[in-house]
A and B are shown apart, each in its own frame.
Chain A
Amino acid sequence: MGRITLENVQKRFGEVEVIPPLNLTIEDGEFVVFVGPSGCGKSTLLRLIAGLEDVSGGEIRIDGRPATDLPPAKRGLAMVFQSYALYPHMSVRKNIAFPLKMAGMDQAEQDRRIAKAAEALNLTDYLDRRPGQLSGGQRQRVAIGRAIVREPAAFLFDEPLSNLDAALRVGMRMEISELHTTLATTMIYVTHDQVEAMTMADKIVVLRAGNIEQVGTPLDLYREPRNVFVAGFIGSPKMNLLEGEHARAHGCKTIGIRPEHLDVVDSGGTFTGKIGVAEHLGSDTFFHVHIPGMAEPMTVRASGEVGLRHGDPIHLAPQADKIHRFDDKGLRIS
C-alpha cells in the first residue's frame, strides 16, 4: 500500500519560501512524475516526502497515517539517488542487504530476497563486486535493487537517469517502467526531462517555483495545457507561442501551436517565411522558419522526408482545432 497525501505542505529555507502551501494526493500504485525546470522545488518536495528535510508547515500522510514527524527510516519508503549513493566499501550483495540488515531481518530471508532482486535486475554475476567495478547502468540497477528488496510502500527516484548516457537512459527508462508494472507499487519520480515524464508517468505534476502548475495524465497535459508555462514545457519540439497580431486575431493574449500541428502547404497558409535550419531525421523533418515580423523562428514538424532546404520559402497552415488560446494571465481559454 502506498497512498501519499500532502496537505498544505510548505518549505522555507530561512526567509526564502521554496514551496508555498501545496496539496497533492498520490494514489496507491501510481507512477507519478514531478517535472519542472531546475530550481522549481521538485527535488525538495521529494526530500520532504522522504523525510530528509523537515516541512515548515502542513501534513504528510502515508496510507492515512501521519508521517510528518517520522524520521526517514520509519516511513517505509525507498529512494534511488541521482548519484546512486552506493556504499563504495561494500560489495553489491552487502549494498543490497544493508536495508534488510538495518531492519534486523534473518539471514535466510535476506539471502532469498537478494537472490530474487539480483535475478530480476541481472545482477547475479556481480554480487561480489564493489560498486567501483561496475558500469553506470549496473550501478543504477544496484541502487534499484537496494530499494526493491525492502518491499517499500513507495519508491522515490531523484533524477536517477541523469548520469547515464543517452542510449542507456532509454533502456533504463523502459526497465523502470517494466518494474512498475511488475511490482505495482507507488513510484514518485523526479526529473527535469519532459520526455521521461511523458513516457513513464501515469500522472505528471508540473512544478514551477514550488507551485503546482498542473496535474494530469501525459496526454491531458499535451492536449489541454492549463497555462502558457505548461504549454511551453510539455511537448518536443516546443510549442510555438505567438503574441500580438496573430493572437488578437483569435481574441486572446497568446496563442500556441505545436510544431506537429502546422501543415506545410504549397501556397497561401497563415504564415509565410523562409527556412532557416532544416533538420532531416528521416522519420520527421524539423524546420525552423523565419517569418517576417516575428522575433523567434517558428518550429514546424513535417512527417517523413520533405524536399525543402535552407533558404527555401515555405507556407504554413495551422490546424484550426489544435490552436491553444491563453488569456492575459497566461491561463488557458477553452
Chain B
Amino acid sequence: MATQHSRSAARLMIAPAVFVLLVWMLIPLCMTLYFSFADYRPMRATFEPWIGFDNYVSFVTSSSFTNSVITTLQMVGGILCITIAGGIALALLLDQPIFGQGVVRILVIAPFFVMPTVSALVWKNMFFNVDNGLFSYLYKALGLQPYDFLSQAPVFSIVVIVAWQWLPFATLILLTAVQSLSSEQLEAAEMDGAPGWARFWYIILPHLSRAITVVILIQTIFLLSVFAEIFVTTNGAFGTRTLTYLVYQRVLESQNIGLGSAGGIIAVILANIVAIFLMRIVGKNLDN
C-alpha cells in the first residue's frame, strides 16, 4: 500500500497535528517547569529566577498538600467504587431482555451529557440545600433532622455529584463489554452446571476485567482534574481541596506562581503514572 509518493504525502499530512500538539505540550510545560524553580509572586512584585527546589519542598511539606492528596484519593476512590460497582450492575441489568430497553438506556446515560457546572448547581441547590433541598424534605418526611450535606459531608457530596455524572460512562463501556461476551460461553457454563453467581464470578467478571481496567484508568485521569464541581459547590472549603484545586488556588487566587507551578509539575508526574498503565493497554490493542 505504501509507495514513496504516498509516504511523503502522509508525512506532510501528519505534520500540522504533530506540530500544534508539540507546541501545546512543550511551551507551557517548559514555562511551568521554569517557574517552579523561581520565586515568582507578581502581586508582591517578587521575581527571583532560581531558588532551587525550595518551591517543591515547601509545597510537598505543607499540610495543605498532604490534605489535598488525601482528599483527592478519597474522592477518586469513592467515585471509582460507586461507578464501577454501579456500572457492572447496570450493564448486566440493561443486557437483560426488557421492554423499552432503548429508553432506559437513554435515561441512564443522560447525566454524562449534563455540563459539570449545571449538575453541580442542581445538586447543590435542589438536593443538598439544607432549607429547600429535596433531601431535606425527605429527611423531614421521615421525621429526621435535615442534614447539611455540603458542609457536614462535603467530600461525600461531591463524590455523589461526580459519580452521578460518570456512572453512565462506566455503564456504557461495561455494557459494550458485556454484550461482546458470547452467549455460547454462558450456555456452555450453564451446561457444565455453574449456577448464576458462578457464571458471574468465573465467566462474566474475568471477561469484563479489561473493560474495568480501562474504565478505572480513564476515569482516574479525568477525575484527578475535577474542577468545576468543587468550584461551584464549596470553592475548596470544608476540606474539599483536591490537588488540582490547590494548584489552582496557589496560582490564580494567591498568585504564588512559583509554588503553584511546583504543584502543577507534581500533578503532571502523578497523572503520568496512571497514564503509563493506560497507554500500555491502548498500545497493546493497537497491535492487533
Contacts and interface: CB of A to CB of B under 8 A. Distances in A.
B5 interface: yes
B5 A71 contact: yes
Interface in A65-100: 71
Given A52-B1, A53-B3, A71-B3, 7 more contacts: A51-B3, A52-B3, A53-B1, A53-B2, A54-B3, A54-B4, A71-B5
Nearest to B4: A54
Contacts of A54: 3-4
Contacts of A52: 1, 3
10 contacts: A51-B3, A52-B1, A52-B3, A53-B1, A53-B2, A53-B3, A54-B3, A54-B4, A71-B3, A71-B5
B6 to A, nearest CB: 10
**Size range of the interface on A?**
under 10
Contacts of A53: 1-3
A47 to B, nearest CB: 8
Chain A contact residues: over half helix, strand or loop, or mixed?
loop
Chain B contact residues: over half helix, strand or loop, or mixed?
loop
A245 B5 CA distance: 58
Contacts, number: 10
User: Which one of B1, B2, B3, B5 has the greatest number of beta carbons of chain A within 10 Å?
Assistant: B3
Contacts of A71: 3, 5
B161 to A, nearest CB: 45
A323 B240 CA distance: 90
A52 B6 CA distance: 10
Contacts of B1: 52-53
Contacts of B5: 71
User: Which one of A51, A53, A54, A71 has the greatest number of beta carbons of chain B within 10 Å?
Assistant: A54
Contacts of B4: 54
A51 B2 CA distance: 10
A159 B235 CA distance: 67
Contacts of B3: 51-54, 71
Interface in A28-54: 51-54
Nearest to A72: B3
A299 B3 CA distance: 46
Interface in B1-29: 1-5
